[in-house]
A and B are shown apart, each in its own frame.
Chain A
Amino acid sequence: MRTRQAISLCRGPVAPALWLIAGLLVAAPEATAQLTPTDRIVARLDSGWRPASRTFAGTRVFTAHQEQGQFAADYELKDGGVVDGGVSYLLWRNLGIGLDVSHFRTIHEARISSEVPHPFFFDLPRTTTGRAGGLERQELGLHIRALWVTQFADWLVVSVSAGPSIISAKQDLVTAVQHTEVGFPFSDIVFSDHTVRAQSKTTTGLNGGVDIDSFFLHRLPFLRNFAVMRHIGVGLLARYVRGVVMLQIDGQPIEVDLGGLQITSGVRFRF
């Protein structure tokens, strides 16, 4: 079992990170304190994941049996894949600017809690719960970054960045729920189905992160003769993005948090 997990890790999105660590070990003996970067342009292409940590909720009022009922949807965001890419340019000494694009997608559920009016009596709602699955969240982010780049060695570059983001979010929201009456005396009711409608909106936010890049390939004996290998490396980016968007279901606002911590890794190209 443990062996299988280890193999899985090597093949998963963290594989480039493991390569980065391997590169550090290989190149460590020759590390020197060369703090100003030698290359002005770095391009990245990453993939990774965003851990599940966010929930948001929406409440909707409806009319049934001549009375108002309501349901609350607690949206439980799950882990999702992130694809992230971008370019940075060194402006002056260690200061640079970057422009990244990221895309996050996940399929998640919402826990539905309903209060449904009784067919015979006022003020005697029945409560029920259920789950609405297959909900999709997508976030397309454009991140403008100011970078402080430090080159610890020819093969090891670390940058710290922050800046504004523009996030376009698309979220499936539960707009209606259906219930099935169990029958007389109608003291119980069963959640049976739900209706979903996608809502899209763009907002601004903030981003900040740390990128550790290792250009160690040209130091490997079997790649030493390939000059292009000096420009190719691997990197690990930890980025936190924060944004808030107000979505609406028939005029009722739902505040949705966007972004979160994401860990990506991938290839780096420097010029």
Chain B
Amino acid sequence: MHALNRPVCGAIALALLTLPASATAQLQAPDGVVTLSAGTGATIAALRESDTLVNQLTRDGSLRLTAQTDDPLVPDRSHERLQQFHEGVPVYGAEVTRQTARGLLVSLFGTVHLAIDLETTPRLSADDAAAVVQDLSGRTLFRSAPPRLVVLPDRANARTYRLVYEARTFTNSQLMVYFVDAATGALVWSYNDLKTQQPVLPCSQCVIGEGFGIKSDRKKMSVTTVGGAFLAHDQLRPAEVFTFDMDGDLPRTQLVLNGLSQLFDADLSTDSDNQWRDGASVDAHVGMGWTYDYLSIRFGRQGLNNQNVRMISLVHPVNRGDIFTATAEEIGLFYLNAFYCGLCGPDGVGVAVFGEGLPPNILLGGQRFDFFSGALDIVAHELAHAVTDFTSALLYVDESGALNEAFSDVIGVGVEFYAESLFRDGAGVADYALGEDVIEPGGIRSLANPIQFGDPDHYSLRFLGKDDNGGVHTNSLIPGHAFYLAIEGGANRVSGLSVAGVGAGNREQIEQIFFRAFTVLMTRNSNFAAARAATIQSARDLYGVNSAPERAVTDAWAAVGVN
């Protein structure tokens, strides 16, 4: 019954969009793809038209509710996330977020496909697809992530859809996402979903320890005592925080990331007198806790998945002394990087891995690389990838991937400023540079001055190549710079347009606007234009139409060339 109705309803929906302009003038469906971007600034007719389409697709089962949350920042607001299905199979990246105020529609964002004509009975089984992926990657698939059938819109050719299996696996250096044709077993598309830092307590056992970070800065450690020893296991926060010391054992690190080896209490960073002196462990453990605090206190979010999922990090994944025998890939990932691997680690809840840095006497590009966990903004950046995974799931390629990176930078910077204002000891000095505490001098990126590291500060300068998943890191500085301008104000170097920022004292406003837009309004395929619309909508929701924050956000996007 549904199988018959859905194409009919899709056709009706498409027909609605092709009515004369006087009837429906707002939505455009070139090639059957509708991008919804209707918010407070849209006309009532546009909002109504989008709502009619979404309701119709919801009634016929094409759009299904996957998440519903109350807005922690705006009272009486709630958010729905709807996934598009075609004959019971999810359409990859086709999602809609719907915001309501006491039942009344406020905004709609997302993408739906109305011209899918595809048979959804696969010739290959999921096991067949797993075998194909195993051949491709040389790895066994995660038990927790078996291949799932999806309809994959072709990224280059409109109206072209393929029935594929989506599967993920960690290949020692990449978290690969494979899309395998469900009929032929051919590899249709793949990308690396490893979010890297740069391209290439009330319980009886809870105690507070004193730790010293890599810069000998004094911090409090929330740890657990067992049998007279102290373990880096924080049970005081609603989300448990674990810091594991891999003791420089790369093969075991890789087994853990692949889900082929378990982590035990004996793997936790440990100390005998509760005076912690392993700076890498201290900074990772404390940084994760502070990031949890920031998400909770600033945004009312309960941890990475809003359900207080465990937060896990691995430090010392390799031994610095082994760098001379390490492969370039290992150096690029486990020495000179930090990354968040969703689905990795125990129970596939995701793991943040912090690189070991370089021996003190080795400089790279004139920069010294210390333990990556020593930078609070890097710790927060990696954990923010998990927040993205659990919310908008921004596709880690091209503009959506750049937004994914930009959001992590925004959270990284946000936590650093938050820490500076509250956590007087050990937080360091906050700024808009990323990684400056461990990659010295300078860091790796600058939201204030992207060009300092050769990154684009204007949309016209965006990287259009294929490297780095379509320039997810370098292009992230375009929205990142907009974030900076919305707070601090100033003129864009390229456009010359000036922005009256809200001021450093009101940074919380812009942080909340961005966080809300990125976590509840945006969808997997959102691009820069969608991010602009979502952040402006978020500003209106939080602070009102034509408020100073809304003007700052709007002007900031214009200044960086995103309209």
Question: Which residues of A does B touch, CB under 8 Å?
Answer: 65-67, 118-124, 181, 183-186
Contacts and interface: CB of A to CB of B under 8 A. Distances in A.
Residue of B201, B209, B297 with most partner-chain A CB within 10 A:
B201
Contact of A121 (B202, B220, B296, B297): B220
Please provide the 4 A-B residue pairs with the shortest distance between their CB atoms, ordered closest to farther: A65-B208, A122-B425, A66-B210, A123-B424
Interface of B: 201-202, 208-210, 218-220, 222, 236-238, 289-290, 293, 296-297, 422-426
B208 A124 contact: no
Interface of B is mostly: mixed
A122 B220 contact: yes
Contact of B222 (A67, A120, A124): A120
Contacts of B289: 120
Interface of A is mostly: loop
17 contacts: A65-B220, A66-B220, A67-B220, A119-B236, A120-B222, A120-B423, A121-B422, A121-B423, A121-B425, A122-B218, A122-B220, A122-B425, A124-B423, A181-B201, A183-B202, A184-B236, A184-B296
Given A120-B289, A121-B423, A184 B220 contact: no
B208 A119 contact: yes
A66 B208 contact: yes
A132 to B, nearest CB: 23
B201 A119 contact: yes
Contact of A119 (B222, B296, B426): B222
A190 to B, nearest CB: 12
Contacts of B208: 65-66, 119-120
A122 B424 CA distance: 7
Residue of A120, A123, A184, A186 with most partner-chain B CB within 10 A:
A120
A183 B236 CA distance: 8
Given A66-B209, A66-B210, A66-B220, A184 B237 contact: yes
Contact of B238 (A118, A119, A122, A184): A184
Contacts of B290: 120
A186 B296 CA distance: 12
Contacts of B238: 184
Contacts of B209: 66
Given A119-B220, A119-B236, A122-B218, A185 B424 contact: no
A185 to B, nearest CB: 6
A62 to B, nearest CB: 14
Contacts of A184: 236-238, 296
Contacts of A121: 220, 422-425
Given A65-B220, A66-B209, A186-B236, A120 B293 contact: yes
Nearest to A183: B202
Contacts of B426: 122
Nearest to B308: A184
Contacts of A185: 293, 296-297
Contacts of B210: 66
A181 B202 contact: yes
Contacts of A122: 218-220, 423-426
Nearest to B297: A185
Nearest to A123: B424
Nearest to B207: A65
A113 B425 CA distance: 25
B422 A124 contact: yes
Contacts of A119: 201, 208, 220, 222, 236
Residue of B202, B220, B238, B296 with most partner-chain A CB within 10 A:
B220
Given A119-B220, A181-B201, A181-B202, 16 more contacts: A65-B208, A65-B220, A66-B208, A119-B208, A119-B222, A120-B220, A120-B423, A121-B424, A122-B218, A122-B219, A122-B423, A122-B424, A122-B425, A122-B426, A184-B237, A184-B238
